[in-house]
């Protein structure tokens, strides 16, 4: 079993829809949770960064972390064609000498105009 | 542009050749990471530096791979005797680790194709 599981999609939605992207994880030591957006043939771009449980909102994006269920979500409101990309979840845990960060495989999102 | 810069963006090489990639992190960042990403997968950790010290290397980093960060600024990743399985996107990221903050920012990557 992978430490971080993410449905690869693809997920196709009409413009204006609310998008829900999710990851589950197995390591309860993860404390830091990130969402990255990656356009084709580009590097990942950090969207949201959350420490521990709770919600964080930034514009059209809301990140949720439920540590009791080992489940994190990213919601995109009023989705736009420019949101079409691969969304990667990532999570980090402290370990001796630093941090361990694991990425999900990414979910491909298509927003149709 | 004050982001993470990687060069070259693309590299095609013949099997058995050596290649070297360069990463220039965000200037005030003290930590630099190398990742490898293959199609349909998330980035996989290879190694990281705290200033000029290489603190951790993944099991993915075989003896043919070596990374340096000589003055705690830019870093190079060298792959010797390349194999077709080395074909991937090589990503560099940097972060300023202060207290609990571990946000990492990625460069655009170097896409390596071994033929």
- The verdict on a CB contact (< 8 Å) between A42 and B109 is yes
Shortest Cα distance, chain B CAs vs residue A51, angstroms:
9
The pLDDT tens digits of the residues spanning A12-47 come to 999 999 999 999 999 999 989 999 999 998 999 999
Average pLDDT score over chain A: 93
How large is the average pLDDT for residues A55-80? 96
Q: Closest Cα to residue B104, out of B53, B40, B35, B36?
A: B35
Picking from A42, A43, A46, the nearest residue to B103 by CB comes out as: A46
Strands (E), B2-107: 5-7, 10-13, 19-24, 31-37, 44-50, 53-57, 65-68, 75-79, 88-95, 105-106
- The verdict on a CB contact (< 8 Å) between B103 and A34 is yes
């Amino acid at each position: 079993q992978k430490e971080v599981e993410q449905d690869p999609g693809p997920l196709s939605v009409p413009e204006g829809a609310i998008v829900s992207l999710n990851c589950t994880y197995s390591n309860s030591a993860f404390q830091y949770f990130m969402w990255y957006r990656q356009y084709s043939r580009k590097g990942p771009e950090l969207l949201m960064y959350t420490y521990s449980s709770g919600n964080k909102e930034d514009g059209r994006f809301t990140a949720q972390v439920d540590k009791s269920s080992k489940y994190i979500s990213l919601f995109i409101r009023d989705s736009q064609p420019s949101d079409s990309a691969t969304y990667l979840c990532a999570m980090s845990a402290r370990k001796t000498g630093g941090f361990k960060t694991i990425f999900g495989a990414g979910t491909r999102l298509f927003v149709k105009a | 542009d004050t982001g993470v810069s990687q060069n070259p963006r693309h590299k095609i090489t013949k099997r058995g050749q050596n290649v070297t990639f360069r990463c220039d992190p965000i200037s005030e960042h003290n930590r630099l990471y190398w990742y490898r990403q293959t199609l349909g997968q998330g980035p996989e950790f290879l190694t990281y530096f705290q200033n000029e010290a290489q603190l951790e290397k993944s099991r993915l980093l075989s003896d043919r791979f070596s990374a340096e960060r000589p003055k705690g600024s830019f870093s190079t990743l060298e792959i010797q005797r390349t194999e077709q399985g080395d074909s991937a996107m090589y990503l560099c990221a940097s972060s300023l680790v202060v207290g609990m903050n571990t946000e990492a920012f990625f460069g655009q990557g170097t896409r390596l194709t071994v033929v």
